[in-house]
Structure 1
Amino acid sequence: MMLPPGLLISAPASGAGKTTLTLGLLRALGDQGLKVQPFKSGPDYIDPGFHHAASGRASVNLDSWAMGPGLIGQLIGAAEGADLVLAEGSMGLFDGVACPGETGSGASADIAALTGWPVVLVLDVSGQAQSAAAVAAGFAALREDVHLAGVVLNRVASPRHEALVRAGMQAAGIPVLGALPRLKSVEMPERHLGLVQAEEHAALERILSEAGRFVADHIDLRRLRASARPTARPGNAARRTPPPGQRIALARDAAFSFVYPHLLEGWRAAGAEILPFSPLADQAPDPSADVCWLPGGYPELHAGRLAEAENFRAALRAFAETRPVHGECGGYMAMGAGLIDKDGQRHRMAGLLGLVTSYEKRKMHLGYRLAELSAPLPGHTPGARLRGHEFHYSTILDQPDPPLARVTDANGAEVAETGSCRGRASGTFFHLIAEAT
């Protein structure tokens, strides 16, 4: 099946309004009867949930540092049957790491170049006028393999302000696809890891509907659609990350909400069955499962309830006596001996590992990770090399068990968050994205 044409929504920097524009476009074009397939460039796991809510189609991460061209090409197949692709970038268009990974530096520009999707550049023009054209012209010229479809002016102060910015763009030969005045009611609230998750946002449907109307009123949707270009599908067929087992008990609730959708889809495609359960509801992992996987999330916000979930903790310990249990980030914290919340109170966790973590004094741990396993992780043997991403504010106070892996950042520097293992239990602070070649 042919893939639809696409566009990539990016900006010079974070905070320029990429997410608001992307969500508004997804809803506005959907309201016109179009099937729009969303993607997210980079490892962000919150935005795809909002994409799904706005479009009705599951959003997929595409990452040039962690994924090879073959895997990226496979994942782009999610667009089959759609009318248009809209991919949201991360950070600034050309922002990535210094040392390239599987396909590139992790920059959104890499994805635009691989796929042939022209870039719609969102410019926050507050505090400037004709000078914004110099920014746009620089972005248009920096990489020959990245094409600029045009710009969307955001946070425009007045009609006079808009006219001045448009005059600068016209002189520079930069198409203007629309201009958005500041509108607080469609901006998303933040939390300690970024945006509030889609399923937690009580007013989400109202905000999405308003964003759709807002974008439809201020963006030339016909011209924007006409600027999309055919999608190139890079690479040859690639081996996906193998499932950790045949029947996978997967923790799934407000405390354990994050696992990359492409991993779950890949596990199912390989024939694995996923059996969700809720630790917050004091549920046990399915006894018929051959592995238990605790994803990332926000256990520090639910530490009291997890400490009181006696059935869950006892069942998890019993499960680990005969079958592997693995946790990522929040899941890893919940497998430890204790978790200290923001108020300094210590809560008892499952005790499968000796890990003690604290959220009392927040410190950001952020970045790509390359891990070479020293011990087995479900689905992977010692020596396997895995690429992932770490993003949390908790600090390790004690990690007495043997390290699970040698872990380095994107520059090759070793990091302290090596993960750990004890018996059949293992955990990491990084979220697995793909195997390294």
Structure 2
Amino acid sequence: MTAPGLLISAFASGGGKTTVALGLARAFRRRGLVVQAFKSGPDYIDPAFLAAAAGGAAFNVDSWAMPAELAGAILDHAATAHLVVAEGSMGLFDGAPECGAWGRGATADLAARTGWPVILVVDPAGQAQTAAAAAKGLADFRADVRVAGVILNRVASPRHEALVRDGFAEAGLRVFGALPRSAGVATAERHLGLVQAVERADLEAMIERVADLVERHLDLGAILEAARPMTRAFAPGGRLPRAPAGRIALARDVAFSFVYPHVLAGWRADGATILPFSPLADEGPDPTAELCWLPGGYPELHAGRLAAAERFRAGLAAFAATRPVHGECGGYMVLGAGLVDAEGVRREMTGLLGLETSFAARSLTLGYRRATLQAPIPGHAAGAVVRGHEFRYATVLAQPDEALAAMTDAAGAPVPETGSRRGAVSGTFFHLVAEEAR
């Protein structure tokens, strides 16, 4: 039997899911419980915070991009835990327009498949009893998704809380507690996205403050009693991704931090040695590695330092002359010829590909991606179909190299972005999650 679990969801993004999930993970950890954290859907920022709060890796589970067997292998990490705290994405039922591997990528898909009860974080700003009516609609929307109750967030006053609670009593939905508006904990943002956990010098202090808030205002005993073990099993025999090489040089610093935990766990389980290096510290890849991988992150915020990192650039060029190099999103941009930052200054990148990108005129591109590879990338053969997601603000100015893949979105519509390749160097704007079963 797996650990009992809970899914923290909401009406929409920005409702307070992360605050509540962090607080619960740390509060139960304080009580001596081994907490395993998960995140529904594609995301790099929240799992890093959840990992810090729970004290161990937090894994993504994605019903659109992951085969059920892979999702089952990831969820096996809960086997040695006392409690699972899983954070949803967007609103409870929000997902792709078409079904993917075993769902649309919605939090509700994960709730239905695992049987974990949902706790809704409800922000009743500008409402009273109406908040309960909206929550009741979510609770009744799918018969295979069970809402155990709600946590009220950013409640304006004791009178406001009393009115809101009256509505939930009438709707028959349990209220596990209410967090006051004045005690809210904001997550820092920047013009290109959220600040990463590794960038916050006050990370531990912030998590402790959130846990204090949760302990003061929520009924932790009732929340723990609401948790349930996973009841709907995934197909057995699943395994994490295989390592694409025995020794992998991995760019790893605040500019290159977007790597899915299930990918790293799979590489290590397959016996690979991961050799981290920091381009920001002007380090090149380990010369004994067989493969170099540049993940995504925020290299545009450090473009000047990367342009001046001569040892990194020379080391990467020497490596690429004899061995494969692959980059995702930010890593792909660094493999390109140039990057124009938000101030309009062009910074020279490594030039291993001809890609030119710009943040001077931002244009948001995001969504799930299904790619049929026209050439191999590390770990995946030509002709393989892989799934992932794209999230970028960069505008493509030039992409002169050969196309790497034929790409579609979640609805099957063609996507003009194809990634590119030159010799043993390849890159894509989309972050790879998993290969489809053949």
2:132 corresponds in structure 1 to 133
CA distance in 2, matches of 1:401, 1:155: 51
Cα distance in 2 between the residues matched to 1:241 and 1:206: 35
Structure 2: distance between partners of 1:193 and 1:304:
17
* Partner in structure 1 of residue 427 of structure 2: 427
After TM superposition, the structure 1 = structure 2 runs for residues 3-402 of structure 1, keeping only pairs within 5 Å, are: 3-183=2-182, 186-232=185-231, 233-402=233-402
Aligned partners of 2:154 and 2:379: how far apart in 1? 48
Deviation at 1:338, TM superposition (A): 0.4
Distance in structure 2 (CA, Å) of the matches to 1:370 and 1:183: 44
Task: For 1:344 and 1:431, locate their aligned partners in 2 and report how far apart those are by CA, in whole Å.
Answer: 26
Q: Distance in 1 between matches of 2:365 and 2:142?
A: 31
Q: Structure 2: how far apart are the matches of 1:379 and 1:126?
A: 48
Q: Quick check: 1:368–1:388 contact (8 Å CA) kept in 2? A: yes
Q: Is the 8 A contact 1:327 1:427 kept in 2?
A: yes
In the alignment, what sits opposite 1:409?
409
Distance across 1 between alignment mates of 2:303 and 2:18: 30
Offset, 1:185: 5.6
Distance 1:73-1:265 versus aligned 2 partners, 3 A rule: same
**1:10 and 1:45, CA in 2 relative to 1: closer, same or farther beyond 3 A?**
same
* TM-score normalized by the length of structure 2: 0.98
Answer whether contact 2:154 2:184 (CA < 8 A) is retained.
Answer: no
Letter in 1 for 2:380: H
Paired with 1:81 and 1:237, the residues of 2 have a C-alpha distance of: 18
Tell me the matched-pair count: 436
Name the SS for the 1:26 alignment partner. helix
Over 3 Å counting, the alpha-carbon distance change for 1:9 and 1:189 in structure 2 is: same
Asked if the contact 1:279/1:309 (under 8 Å) is kept, the reply is: yes
Residue 184 of structure 1: how far off its partner (Å): 5.4
Matched-pair contact (CA < 8 Å) for 1:69–1:236:
no
For the 8 Å contact 1:23–1:50, the answer to whether it is kept is: yes
What do you get for the CA RMSD once the two structures are aligned? 1.1
Q: Is the 8 A contact 1:294 1:326 kept in 2?
A: yes
Q: Distance in 2 between matches of 1:355 and 1:384?
A: 24
> What is the Cα deviation at residue 79 of structure 1?
1.3
Tell me the distance in 2 between the aligned counterparts of 1:147 and 1:281. 49
SS in 2 for 1:186: coil
Is the 8 Å Cα contact of residues 329 and 429 (structure 1) preserved in structure 2?
Answer: yes
Partner deviation per Cα, 1:206-247 (whole Å, 9 max, x = no partner): 211111110111110000100111113312222543322111
Query: Greater shift after overlay, 8-17 or 71-80?
Result: 71-80
| Aligned mates of 2:33, 2:193 — CA distance in 1 | 29
What's the secondary structure of 1:306's corresponding residue? helix
CA distance, structure 1, for counterparts of residue 175 and residue 183 of structure 2: 23
- Aligned partners of 2:28 and 2:35 also within 8 Å: yes
Q: Deviation per CA, 1:79-118, whole angstroms, max 9, x where unpaired?
A: 1221110100000000001111101000000001111100
Residue identity matched to 1:116: G
Give the letter aligned to residue 310 of structure 1.
E
Measure how far apart 1:275 and its partner are: 0.6
Report if aligned partners of 2:307, 2:349 keep a CA contact under 8 Å in 1.
yes
Secondary structure in 2 aligned to 1:353?
coil
Amino acid at match of 2:107: S
Aligned partner of residue 416 in structure 2, secondary structure: coil
- Contact 1:294–1:332 (8 Å) recurs in 2: yes
Distance in 1 separating the partners of 2:80 and 2:86: 16
Measured after TM superposition, the shift of residue 270 of structure 1 is: 1.2
**1:193/1:150 CA distance change after superposition, 3 Å:** farther
Q: What SS does the aligned partner of 2:257 have?
A: strand
> What is the distance in 1 between the residues matched to 2:184 and 2:104?
35
Question: What amino acid does structure 1 have at the position aligned with 2:208?
Answer: S
8 Å contact 2:131–2:167 — kept in the other structure?
Answer: yes
Deviation readout 1:390-426 (Å, 9 max, x if unpaired): 1111111000001000011111112222100000100
- Superimposed CA distance per residue, residues 371-394 of structure 1 (whole angstroms, 9 cap, x where no aligned partner): 000011111111000001111111
Structure 1, unmatched stretches of 5+, are none
Stretches of 4+ moved more than 6 A in 1?
A: none
1:195 deviates by: 2.3
User: Letter of the aligned partner of 2:369 in structure 1?
Assistant: R
Higher deviation after alignment, 119-128 or 193-202: 193-202
Q: Which amino acid aligns with 1:434?
A: A
Would you say the 8 A contact 1:240–1:434 is kept in 2?
no
1:117 & 1:301 partners in 2: Cα distance? 39
